[in-house]
Amino acid sequence: MSRKTLIYQVPAQEGNRDAGKRFLIEEMPATRAERWAMRALLALMGGNVELGDIRPGHGMAGLMSAGLEKLAALNWETVQPLYDELLECVYALPKPDNDAVRVRLTPAQADTQVEEISTLLALRVEALGLHVGFSLGDALATLIARSAAGTSPNASTSPS
């Protein structure tokens, strides 16, 4: 069985230096994803974030179901390694006619392949979405809508 992948193409926008660039995002191996999820869970717990009903078997999706707004309680030093690991799931596809040519986007390599902050953020969002099976954009939109309406701040992360 192979890992899930997706190809992300930076949308064309005026002034976007990355417009049209393509990236391959590949799911982490199960053991690495489990370690990432556990470290994220421990970081949340260390930040005194109320986690609600998360069980170890829920993995990355369970972490996100805790509510996106709770991530603000963490400090950058705790989050940075997790944040960087999401980018390590990404490969630049610099040759439009040959997807076999790939450049892994370690934080050091990212500067040679990506020119816009918005591209880096989009790639991390897509990598997280590939692992948790939902659209982070949809979850954020739900969270914002509920906050504006004064209802429960817990964003629904179920794909259904």
Report the alpha-carbon distance of residue 100 to residue 93 in Å, rounded: 8
* Positive/negative CA dihedral, 81, 77, 154, 140: negative
- CA separation for the pair 34, 39 (Å, rounded): 9
Please report the pLDDT score of residue 52 as a whole number.
57
Residue 7 — φ and ψ, nearest 5°? -105, 125
Classify residue 43 by burial, with Cβ atoms within 10 Å: 0-12, 13-18, 19+.
buried
pLDDT tens, position by position, 70-99: 666 677 888 888 888 889 899 999 998 898
Average pLDDT on 64-68 reads 52
Range of weakest confidence among 50-59, 95-104, 112-121: 50-59
Task: Provide the CB-side half-sphere exposure for 118 (13 A, CA).
Answer: 11
Q: Give the predicted TM-score (pTM) of the model.
A: 0.70
